[in-house]
Amino acid sequence: MTTTLTWYGHAALGLKTGGYKLVVDPFFSGNPAASISADAVEADFILVSHGHGDHVGDSIDIAKRTGAMIISNFEIAGWFDGKGVARTHGQQHGGGFKHPFGYLKLTLAFHGSALPDGSNGGNPAGFLLTTNDGKKIYMAQDTGLFGDMKLIGEEGLDLAVVPIGDNYTMGPDDALRAVKLLQPKVVIPIHYNTWDLIAQDANAWAERVGKETGTKAVVLKPGESYSL
Ligand code: NI
Ligand code: MN
């Protein structure tokens, strides 16, 4: 069973696994780095890591058009219920659930989570997905560095997705430290080059990862995919 991850630009990801289509943090409208439009995205499930506009993005439109279920923390799932989204599933940090596409656990993230209209978005999260054939994928989404990444790494990660943009999230130096704690087989950087404020040289970062860790860094262009 092949699982394919696509980086759509910023923190927006597509995942195809076991015949299911997932989209994570689907920010396309107003995203200068987006490689696809919200109208073109196919999804069975939408994962939303926290309440900020560049992560909630086009979730409501995509959910209404496709009938996809939105999975997020309990507070954000309830907010989507109130926006007329038919299918939502709320979880909370440390809690996992066996969805059709795999076992999904919400992890810690050090960040904010206010929703675009000022509603309480609970606490921000990352995602740890165990696919139906046992692959482990950690999507850190927006976070600073935290020591408990070591605990996430103990799960034995096939792939980690980490932010490197700095200012709002980890920058390159802390993201390198994150790789050392997570020890994934492969790491993919996200949340950079969307705007000048978070411009980074991902290839230079990947070179450092190659020199200082046992992890392979894969730098994608928006729209490119990696299969595992
Ligand atoms: Ni954010
Ligand atoms: Mn963000």
CA 54 to ligand 2 center in whole angstroms: 5
SS3 for 120? coil
- What spacing in Å lies between the alpha carbon of 54 and ligand 1's midpoint? 7
Mean pLDDT, to the nearest integer, of 113-120? Answer: 98
Q: How far is the CA of 133 from the centre of ligand 1 (A)?
A: 31
Number of helices (H), then strands (E), in the chain: 6, 14
Tens digit of pLDDT for each residue in 53-70? 999 999 999 999 999 999
Average pLDDT over residues 89-106: 98
Q: What is the pLDDT of residue 205?
A: 98
Classify domain 3-221 at the CATH topology level.
Metallo-beta-lactamase; Chain A (3.60.15)
Cα of 141 to ligand 1 centre, how many Å?
Answer: 8
Q: Using alpha carbons, list the distances in angstroms from residue 24 to 10, 42, 125, 126, 194.
A: 11, 12, 12, 10, 16
The rounded Å distance from CA 165 to ligand 2 centre is: 10
Q: Are 2 and 25 in contact (CB under 8 A)?
A: no
pLDDT digits (tens, 9 = 90+) for 9-41: 999 999 999 999 999 999 999 999 999 999 999
Is the pLDDT at 47 greater than 90? The verdict is: yes
pLDDT recorded at residue 9: 97
pLDDT at 186: 98
Tell me the whole-structure pTM to 2 decimals.
0.98
Within 13 Å of residue 60, how many CA atoms lie on the same side as its CB?
Answer: 13
Tell me, what's the pLDDT at 45? 99
Tokens representing 148? 């408990």
Give pLDDT, residue 156: 98
pLDDT, position 1: 86
pLDDT-based confidence at residue 137 (cuts at 50, 70, 90): very high
Ligand nearest to the CA of 50: 1
Q: What is the mean pLDDT of the chain?
A: 98
Asked if 45 and 63 count as a contact pair (C-beta separation under 8 A), the reply is no
Token digits of residue 220: 């994608």
pLDDT at 66 (0 to 100): 98
